[in-house]
Amino acid sequence: MEVILKYFSDFTETQIEQFTRLKDLYIEWNQQINVISRKDIDELYTRHVLHSLSIAAVCPFNPGMKIVDIGTGGGFPGIPLAIFYPEVEFLLVDSIGKKLKVVQGVADAIGLKNVKILHSRMEEIPQQTFDFAVSRAVAPLKDLWKWCKPYIQKRKSTELANGLICLKGGDLAQEISESGLRPTLWDVDRIFPEPHFKDKYVVWVGK
């Protein structure tokens, strides 16, 4: 938890309690359904929570906005972002039901009121609109954009135009080329200078 407070300080007591409870909850759930590796559990706040919050550092969300997390897995980046933005609505989508059981359990335990869970593929969810789609290491950029584009409202709700914000790592040159898109990239280790974030990026595609 200390690494979160190293970079963010303006939290309510409720938010601090919610963030603090995450590690014990994920340890408990991981014993039933393995969604996070042992090594990552030990560094949950850096590798998962802070990494998720790099999206918040790049693109602040405003109250009332609607965000969809594509392939949320164990709840990242959706759960940390939902704690960070209690007045923003989040829909966490995944095609693997047992992972969503963990996400729902964590959200219920910490009292997150702004999160809904949906067992579905992104491209099959009921028609609705969002300001942004977020995702972490789920699929190639071209697929993420194809899945979310029909659901994104074309407007500028915050500092960036509405679109896709995803977390990716490694050499993205070929993936970007194959996507036919012109994304903007931010180095996560420049946002949060931690060794784990070397060669990790926040990637934005605007609609």
**What residues does 67 pair with on adjacent strands?**
90, 132
DSSP 175-193: HHHHHT---EEEEHHHHS-
Closest CA to 167 of 136, 145, 196: 136
Domain count for the chain: 1
Model-level pTM? 0.96
Give the three-class secondary structure for 32. Answer: coil
Type and span of the H or E element at 205: strand 200-206
Closest CA to 131 of 50, 76, 60: 60
What would the pLDDT profile of 112-134 be if each residue is shown by its tens digit?
999 999 999 999 999 899 999 99
The boundaries of the domain holding residue 32 are 2-206
Angle at Cα 176 formed by Cα 204 and Cα 66, nearest 5°? Answer: 25
Mean pLDDT by 10 residues, the chain (207 residues): 93 97 94 85 94 97 97 96 98 95 97 97 93 94 96 90 97 96 97 96 97
Q: Are 70 and 122 in contact (CB under 8 A)?
A: yes
Q: What is the pLDDT of residue 144?
A: 97
Q: What is the pLDDT of residue 137?
A: 81
Assign residue 33 the CATH number of its domain: 3.40.50.150
Q: What is the pLDDT of residue 18?
A: 98
Q: Which residues are annotated as a binding site?
A: 71, 76, 136
Q: Which residues are annotated as a binding site for S-adenosyl-L-methionine?
A: 71, 76, 136
Q: Which residue type, as a one-letter code, is found at position 188?
A: V
> Six-digit token pair at 121?
């593929």
Q: What is the pLDDT of residue 39?
A: 77
